[in-house]
Homo-oligomer: A and B are copies of this chain.
Amino acid sequence: MPRVRLEILKRSKKSRARLGLLHTAHGTVETPALVTVATQAAVKTLTAEQAEGAGSPLLICNTFHLHLKPGEQVVRAQGGLHEFMAWKRPIMTDSGGFQVFSLGFGRDYGLGKIGYRDTTAKVGLKQKPKLLSITEQGVTFTSYLDGRKIFIGPEESMSIQAALGADIAFAFDECTPPNADRAYTEMSVARTHRWAERCLKARDPKQSLYGIVQGGKFKDLRRASARTVASLPFDGFGIGGEFGADKKTMTAMLREVVRELPEGKPRHLLGIGHPDDIRRIVKEGVDTFDCTVPTQYARHGTAFTSRGRLEIGSSKHLKSRAPLDSACGCPTCTKYTRGYLCHLYRAKEYTAGTLLTIHNLWHFNELVRRVRTEIRRGLI
């Protein structure tokens, strides 16, 4: 399998945005591109055909979840993720590093990655997460399935990801908690860098590997992390963790990071891609980004439209014969009315989640396509 390669078609003169083609063994993706989340090797509520039909150009699956269930050896025995899922386009797997946060300090402090909350309980060098232990060697998790202990270090993450066989793997890192103090973040990011080198030694050379930049909300640590990771022979770069309390801070921080990354290699922003964020992050030079918003909100009845959000469960939609979005050409909008979708949602039919997920993915993919057009036309 040849490694991925980013062909840059155009660089914006107005921003750091770039238009490109990400060439992979499973086809070429036009960038910037939204990566659809398929945590457990499925886009929730959709078949592979439906995810294709919604325009999803590539997927990101979750290494930690697939290690637990069904286990990477099952996936390998099925010929790897592509054959397992019957998905022909490219796939990424994250490294499990986000779970080091989400099942650790994130859980302990009730913190989500998006939606920063300034808690007074800062994470410092003396704090330890309750349900996992992080050492130089790696992380011992407690399985949420059966309580058994699961050790994942850089070598294990590489081995799991090699067995899963995605086009793009990510280096194992600690996603630093947003409430980590400077001392903790310094210690954590240095360890993440040592893990990055171990990942490079343990990688499957046939698989592309992205390094991950951390550094929390400390600008100098972010820049230093970007410089360090950029100096290593990765095929691309992920940018992880929390960026700060507001959009402005996020943008500024992203700019600091991206300027340290090599021009010719792809950049992936992990876990960010709200409609409000897409233009902003693309303008900072991000090529791909993944986000659970389109799929997760769909299952909770929120449709994103050209006129803003629409809560399909509200009874006011019951009599509407309009589509979710009259400006949308997705399989849901061309066929089903708001009234019907509202009924399905209120009647707790799974089909509501399916039809809204198709719409939201289409809407997001269309939004990113328009952003690509804007770069092509020199508008952003």
Interface residue ranges, A against B (CB under 8 Å): 40-49, 65, 69-70, 74, 77-79, 84-86, 318-319, 321, 331, 335-337, 339-340, 342-344, 346-347, 349-351, 353-355
| Cross-interface CB contact of A318 among B46, B74, B331, cutoff 8 Å | B74
Question: Cα distance A70–B79 when bound, in Å?
Answer: 46
Given the complex of chains A and B, what is the CA–CA distance between A49 and B349 in angstroms?
A: 16
Contacts of A44 in B (CB 8 A): 349-351
Copies assembled:
2
Partner of A40, one of B46, B74, B79, B349: B349
* Contact yes or no, A70 B318, CB < 8 A: yes
Given A74-B339, A355-B47: A347 touches B69 (CB 8 Å cut-off): yes
CB distance from A353 to the nearest CB of B (A): 7
Known A-B contacts: A42-B344, A49-B335. Give 11 more (CB < 8 A): A42-B351, A44-B349, A44-B350, A45-B350, A45-B351, A48-B335, A70-B343, A70-B347, A77-B339, A86-B340, A354-B354
Rounded to whole Å, the gap between the CB of A359 and the closest CB of chain B is: 12
Q: How far is the CB of A49 from chain B (nearest CB, A)?
A: 8
Residue in A40, A340, A346 whose Cβ sees the most chain B Cβ within 10 Å:
A340
Q: How many angstroms between the C-alpha atoms of A65 and B346 in the bound complex?
A: 12
When distances are taken between beta carbons in the complex, the residues of chain B under 8 Å from A321 are 77-79
Q: Given A78-B319, A351-B45, check contact A70 B346 (CB 8 Å).
A: yes
Give complex CA distance A86, B321 in Å.
Answer: 12
